[in-house]
Amino acid sequence: MLQPAVADLKDPGLYGNRELSLLEFNRRVLEQAKDPATPLLERLRFLTICSANLDEFFEIRAAGVRQQAAYHVVPKGADGLAPEQVLRAISELAHKLVEEQYRTLNEVLLPSMEKEGIRLLKRRHWSTRQQRWVRRYFDEQVLPVLTPVGLDPAHPFPRVLNKSLNFIVSVEGTDAFGRGSGIAVVQVPRSLPRVIALPREAAEAPYDFVLLSSIVHAHVEELFPGMAATGCYQFRVTRNSDLWVDEEEVDDLLRALKGELPSRLYGDAVRLEVADDCPEEMNQYLLDNFQLQPQDLYQVNGPVNVNRLAALYELTERPDLKYPRFVQGLPRRLEKSADLFATLRRGDVLLHHPFQSFTPVLDLVRQAAADPDVLAIKQTLYRTGVDSPVVDALLEAARNGKEVTAVVELRARFDEAANIDLATRLQEAGAKVVYGIVGYKAHAKALMVVRREGRRMRRYVHLGTGNYHTRTTRAYTDFSLLTCDRDIGEDVHKLFQQLTGLGRIARMKKLLYAPFTLRKALIASIDREAEAARSGKPARILARMNALTEPGIIQALYRASQAGVPVDLLVRGVCCLRPGIPGVSDNIRVRSIVGRFLEHSRVFCFHNGGQDLVLCSSADWMERNFFRRVEVCFPIEDERLRARVLNEGLHFYLSDNAQTWVMQPDGSYKRLKPGAQKRRCTQELLLESLAG
């Protein structure tokens, strides 16, 4: 009898491409903008999120692939695709996505908003009164800061800022110096608001708005006195924004990054967006100037930066068209006690954000800053925001004489400037500030407070799956563990020793950490489940994360599936694993939840012979997290809290039928619908059960 062929788990056909999977995720985000069940202004917000995501995609991901193609890099990804193949596929998918964005805006959202008295007025719809108001606004607020540049040998094409609003204008006539017709470029400063609310005396609906681009377009001839503007077309160029600093060659990473930040504004062009009525010869002129190809051109029917329409959400006071507000809850134990140290001595505390408040984490730092028995505070800071209460508490602690150590990750993408500022402020207050380890981003989320209690020192610890950013703790789902467990405290102490000092790989009692033990331990846990299944014993793997790309982990999951292990994965964004492939991944199911809150938690559960091993982590299952970052993965050992994480973080989500997308073997997704079943939206259920 012939034995069935053994699948080659390195076959490129078993792996999706990271960039294309990321575009697929943004399609799911866009679908939220099209969903009538979503409040109208939230639908607009999802549209702007999709636009912002695409900007970052081109600035980082597409830009990186372009560099690989330029340097003829041999394919290294498990999918085996050459950079040139990926670029072609990106262009095809991104053009479809952008076309759908503008169709949704023009045919669905704007008409629906107009019915609600929220109008984005086009120039041809301005009344005489509105035209007069707009003219005054242009003369007083816009004209003084515009600088048109007529293109000739003395005025070459100006440097165009990354993602800035610009106009290319064709002009006829002769100017004061006898120069004839030609082309001019008008750059619009970022200091000007892109969406302007008409005042009561000019508005004819409860909420009337005009775009700055429309105002400039309507009065562009004012910039060229005595000449005729025969064409005016908005355009925007997206540039490579990935910073590069040779960390081994610089003496001061902060100073080097600060010097590199301005280059982000003028990196190599990767995408050109223009108005869809721009003539072909003008399009080609711009493409040539930015050294781009026709596939890099995106002609759009509307504002070139949809993301700026997010201002409409903020400027429109219509709570009935937004998600209902909610008050974040607190565990009962914290409601009854003001002394967080005493509470933690009685047992661990678990917080599930954003349904539960992040305030207890802030309170831990604030209490530590004021407590005379606290000797030291150590914390990793990846993203905190500009005005951060966490940083304020650390500054207060340093001023109060505490030993404050902050591991500030200067290279947190697009937060570099904010992190440089907070690092400087902390240093000026007397805190010890380090920037992690050369070649590795410090992505772990850890806080440790050292307190003298009688004759002993006790460590109080916070570990989380998300950042110390108070704004995102109201928008991202994450778990926080507050504990004074002795072993975890010692492990976190060793982690900070490695981040700030020198030494060999630390032996951890309970924590797993990258780049040393995390990947190996996860693969060992996956393999144990596979061995149990082969032996006829119960086995199961549940895992939730933002992204799954690492080939070694994917191969381990394929082996587990082949052994008969049921594998349920909740992967919000990029997933390079292909589920449902006969003989390889028959037992693997992949779901993606896209809803009101950004699914950010990383939770892993292994059946572990009936003794569920439940882990939370700062790390996704990606190469960068396992090999190029410092990450922490921590166990949930308290039986009651472990049950909470299993239910709230995994089981509830696996039963969701309102915001779930199911991944197909070809990498596409289908939305799950309730059908005859009762509608079950996990985020709404968690709000009902956990919020205040």
The tokens 């594998």 sit on which residue? 567
Q: DSSP E strands: which ranges in 316-402?
A: 349-353, 374-381
Do residues 506 and 563 touch, judged by C-beta distance below 8 A? no
Please give the Cα distance from 638 to 643 (Å, whole number).
9
Q: Please enumerate in sequence order all residues whose Cβ is within 8 A of that of 626, keeping only pairs 6 or more positions apart, or say none.
A: 514, 515, 518, 519, 550, 553, 619
- Least confident range from 79-93, 115-129, 409-423, 675-689: namely 409-423
Q: Please enumerate in sequence order all residues whose Cβ is within 8 A of that of 348, keeping only pairs 6 or more positions apart, or say none.
A: 481, 482, 483, 485, 637, 638, 641
Strands 456-464 and 403-408: unpaired
DSSP bridge pairs for 577: 15
Whether the pLDDT of residue 447 is over 90: the answer is: yes
The tokens 């493409």 sit on which residue? 287
Banded model confidence at residue 526, pLDDT cuts 50, 70, 90: very high
User: What confidence score (pLDDT) does residue 7 get?
Assistant: 80
User: What confidence score (pLDDT) does residue 115 get?
Assistant: 97
Banded model confidence at residue 249, pLDDT cuts 50, 70, 90: very low
Whether the pLDDT of residue 179 is over 90: the answer is: no
Give 418-422 contacts, CB < 8 A, sequence gap 24+. Answer: 418/384, 418/385, 418/386, 419/381, 419/383, 419/384, 420/254, 420/257, 420/258, 421/386, 422/381, 422/384, 422/388, 422/391
226 — alpha (psi -120 to 50), left (phi > 0) or beta? left
The pLDDT tens digits of the residues spanning 604-650 come to 999 999 999 999 999 999 999 999 999 999 999 999 999 999 999 99
For the chain, give the percent of residues with pLDDT over 90: 80
339 CB burial (10 A radius; 0-12, 13-18, 19+): exposed
Banded model confidence at residue 420, pLDDT cuts 50, 70, 90: confident
- Residue with the bigger pLDDT between 471 and 363: it is 363
User: What confidence score (pLDDT) does residue 256 get?
Assistant: 47
User: What confidence score (pLDDT) does residue 606 get?
Assistant: 98
- Least confident range from 243-247, 293-297, 410-414, 415-419: namely 243-247
User: What confidence score (pLDDT) does residue 411 get?
Assistant: 65
Which residue, 626, 475, 472, is CA-closest to 547?
Answer: 626
Q: Is residue 443 among the annotated active site residues? A: yes
Mean pLDDT for the chain overall: 92
User: What confidence score (pLDDT) does residue 40 get?
Assistant: 98
Catalytic-role residue among 219, 353, 443, 462: 443
Phi/psi at 467 (5° precision): -85, 165
User: What confidence score (pLDDT) does residue 415 get?
Assistant: 63
For the chain, give the percent of residues with pLDDT over 70: 93
Banded model confidence at residue 91, pLDDT cuts 50, 70, 90: very high
The pLDDT tens digits of the residues spanning 641-675 come to 999 999 999 999 999 999 999 999 999 999 999 88
- Residue with the bigger pLDDT between 333 and 519: it is 519
User: What confidence score (pLDDT) does residue 181 get?
Assistant: 64
Q: Is 130 helix (H, G, I), strand (E, B) or coil?
A: helix
The domains found in the chain, sorted by start residue, are 14-321 (3.30.1840.10), 332-507 (3.30.870.10), 514-690 (3.30.870.10)
Which residue, 111, 118, 100, 78, is CA-closest to 31?
Answer: 100
Whether the pLDDT of residue 247 is over 90: the answer is: no
Which residue, 576, 600, 604, 602, is CA-closest to 590?
Answer: 576
Whether the pLDDT of residue 691 is over 80: the answer is: yes
CA 296 to chain centre: 24
The pLDDT tens digits of the residues spanning 375-398 come to 999 999 988 877 889 999 999 999
Span 123-132, average pLDDT: 95
Span 335-349, average pLDDT: 92
Phi/psi at 483 (5° precision): -155, 155
Whether the pLDDT of residue 311 is over 90: the answer is: yes
SS3 track for 543-582: EEECCECCHHHHHHHHHHHHCCCCEEEEECCCECECCCCC
* Confidence (pTM): 0.92
User: What confidence score (pLDDT) does residue 244 get?
Assistant: 52
Alpha helices in 219-279, H assignment, sequence order: 253-260
The DSSP secondary structure of 454-484, one letter per residue, reads TTEEEEEEEEESS-S-TTGGGTEEEEEEEE-
Whether the pLDDT of residue 130 is over 70: the answer is: yes
Whether the pLDDT of residue 236 is over 80: the answer is: yes
Do residues 397 and 376 touch, judged by C-beta distance below 8 A? no
Exposure letters 272-289 (e unless 16+ CB within 10 A, then b) = bbbbeebeeebbebbbeb
Span 459-481, average pLDDT: 95
Q: Is 532 helix (H, G, I), strand (E, B) or coil?
A: helix
Banded model confidence at residue 245, pLDDT cuts 50, 70, 90: very low
The pLDDT tens digits of the residues spanning 3-20 come to 344 689 999 999 999 999
User: What confidence score (pLDDT) does residue 246 get?
Assistant: 44
Span 556-570, average pLDDT: 98
- Write out the two tokens for 316: 């429109």
